Amino acid sequence: MSETLPVIGSLLGGLGLFLLAIGMMTDGLRQAAGNALRSLLAGWTSTPLRGVMSGFLMTAIVQSSSAITVASIGFVNAGVLSMNHALGVLYGANVGTTITAWLVALVGFKLDVQIFALPMIGVGMILQLVREHSRMAAVGMALTGFGIFFVGIDILREAFEGILGAFDISKFTVQGPLEILLYLLIGIVMTVLTQSSSASIALTITAASTGIVGIYAAAAMVIGANVGTTSTALVAVIGATANAKRVALAQVIFNVATAVVALLILPLLFLAIVGMSRFLGLSPEPGLTLAMFHSVFNILGVALILPLNNRMTRFLEQCYVSREEMALLPKFLDNTIASTPVLAVNALVLELRANADRVRQLASICLDPAASAELHKQLYVARHLSAEISKFIVALERKALPEESTNHLSMLLRIDQYLLSCATNADRIQAVVNNLESSQLMVVRACIGTYQEQLLMLMGETGTDFEKQLVSAQAGHDAVKADLLEAGARGEVDFGIIVASIDILGEWLRLIQQWIKAMKQLAHIDSETTASDKTSSESDEETAMPHQDTVEPDKVAGLETPGPDA
């Protein structure tokens, strides 16, 4: 017992110093780099492969894959970085974490703590005290972190040597697959407890270098550390954005898949590493072997998953879809119907009618200043869906389509623009309303409220007497405008209220005109597709029953196709 407590104390102390050092190195280097890292991330990730290189380089600099991953999520949420390219950064960050293993293996056991590490700590602290709140202070923090890093490694080495002297470890040697899985689990647990794969790998390399565990057992622990580090990401994204959850899921998939591959080909990997070590002239020390192993299987994982990056992106974008994102997705359009013109036209009609419902909702709340946030949210959705509809139509027009379908697509594109204009008119009405005081708004509503109700009822009608609707809307507009001007001439209504009311009236009239044009063309397409379906059905009946008299199908009186909006 007397020998055990000092060993455990040294082990905990060395681990604590190591974790403190990693935190100081990360914070110091990140502050010293300043906006350079953000610029690097935003400008050097134009392709997934460049994202891998950027992720590796930045993680090697700041010694924290979590910091780089969080920055990537921020850029994805801001629209600066696509999910496709952010995944490249994530893969590169995983490779960048291997630098810690190389530091431990190459320098950690060879550096004289008193000659190098302790002076680093001293110089670093002096820089922080002398140049407080400057970039040099950040450099000093990083330098202090490096010094503490090597002190922690030295204490861990001594602690493991104490374990080696105090216990018989021959019974812990790896003899089969179950033992490999046991050490894999140990690596996972160590990383979950320390919340640092770097600390877990440093412990593993130190244990292997002092003979506590064999090389295969240590390799399994390194793989376990890679899997265990996903716990940090999973905990961090609780309650986070959908993009953050997708990146965390991507990290889990990448790390687990890489671990499975590494375990399956573990002997082959070590054969390759032995050959590489001889080629590079590296000594066969356990630390160097494990550092190379850590790098090789992470690079192998990137090589395997990078060709599948587009599929991974599509899969992730279907996960954690929020209610807001769901509203942005077309409900009736997909690639499966793109090759069938009739189905495509029907789907577009349904999608446009769904967007028309949203536009009608915009019109119903545009005079309410309390609904400003809701209006802008719905306006954003309407515009996004309009863009998706337009892209779908343009993509269809590139294919060889019948003339009738081509004409329908042209009309559908025009309808989409009419509805988009309606949404813009509603937004302009809201802008006028937001500039009015509450007392002024009450008067404006009293002046034009009846006209708004008339137009909203008109927008809810399903009839086809569109010319009558246009005349009614114009007449209502003229009557309200005349009443306003007359009231102004008598001095009964303030001039500012008259101007605001007339502006709103004009926007309402333009809104309803665009609405009626859209509904008229939708009705025209409906009538043509109905007639086409009826003709096709009767033709099928004639083919099936040739003994009956041929009956000419009734002609459906279609509306005149309106020309382009002047």
167: Cβ contacts below 8 Å, ≥ 6 apart:
none
Residue 449's pLDDT is what?
Answer: 81
Kindly tell me the sign of the dihedral angle through the C-alpha atoms of 38, 39, 42, 47. negative
Helix, strand, coil percentages in the chain from 3-state DSSP, rounded to 5:
80, 0, 20
User: Along the 566 residues of the chain, how does pLDDT read in single tens digits?
Assistant: 555 677 677 778 877 886 787 677 767 766 765 555 556 665 666 677 888 888 888 787 766 676 677 667 666 765 567 788 888 888 988 888 888 788 877 776 555 666 777 888 888 888 888 877 777 888 888 788 878 877 777 777 677 666 545 544 445 555 667 778 888 998 888 888 776 777 778 888 888 887 778 888 888 989 998 888 887 667 666 666 677 778 888 888 998 999 999 888 888 888 888 888 888 777 778 888 888 898 898 899 999 999 998 889 888 877 776 555 666 677 777 666 666 667 778 888 888 888 898 889 888 888 888 888 888 888 888 888 888 888 888 877 555 566 777 788 888 899 999 999 999 999 999 888 888 888 888 888 888 888 888 888 888 876 668 888 889 889 989 998 998 888 888 888 888 888 888 999 999 999 999 999 999 888 888 777 665 555 544 544 444 444 444 333 333 333 333 443 43
Q: What is the CA radius of gyration of the chain?
A: 35
560: Cβ contacts below 8 Å, ≥ 6 apart:
524
Residue 564's pLDDT is what?
Answer: 36
Residue bearing tokens 């030295």: 154
**Cα dihedral angle (96, 102, 103, 105), rounded to 10 degrees?**
160
172: Cβ contacts below 8 Å, ≥ 6 apart:
212, 213, 217
Give the percent of the chain with pLDDT over 70.
74
Q: How is residue 513 written in tokens?
A: 């005109």
The structural domains of the chain, ordered by start, are 4-317 (no CATH), 326-544 (1.20.58)
Taking Cα atoms as reference points, which of 386, 413, 425, 418 lies closest to residue 510? 425
Q: How far does Cα 371 stand from its chain's mean position?
A: 28
What digits encode the pLDDT tens for the residues 122-150?
A: 888 888 888 777 778 888 887 888 788 77
Residue 86: burial class (beta carbons within 10 Å; 0-12, 13-18, 19+): buried
**Cα dihedral angle (85, 90, 96, 98), rounded to 10 degrees?**
-140
- In angstroms, rounded to a whole number, what is the distance separating the alpha carbons of residues 104 and 202? 6
Q: Which pTM does this prediction carry?
A: 0.55
What digits encode the pLDDT tens for the residues 144-185?
A: 887 887 777 777 767 766 654 554 444 555 566 777 888 899
Backbone dihedral region for residue 469 (phi beyond 0: left; psi -120 to 50: alpha; all else: beta): alpha
The answer to whether 117 and 77 are in contact (CB under 8 A) is no
Could you count the other beta carbons within 10 Å of the beta carbon of residue 102?
A: 18
411-420 b/e (C-beta count within 10 Å ≥ 16 → b): bbbbbbbbbb
Taking Cα atoms as reference points, which of 328, 327, 352 lies closest to residue 409? 352
What digits encode the pLDDT tens for the residues 237-264?
A: 666 667 777 888 888 899 899 999 988 8
Residue 556's pLDDT is what?
Answer: 32
The answer to whether 286 and 205 are in contact (CB under 8 A) is yes
Interior angle at CA 452, CA 475 and CA 513, nearest 5: 55
3-state SS string for 532-556: HHHHHHHHHHHHHCCCCCCCCCCCC
- In angstroms, rounded to a whole number, what is the distance separating the alpha carbons of residues 270 and 278? 12
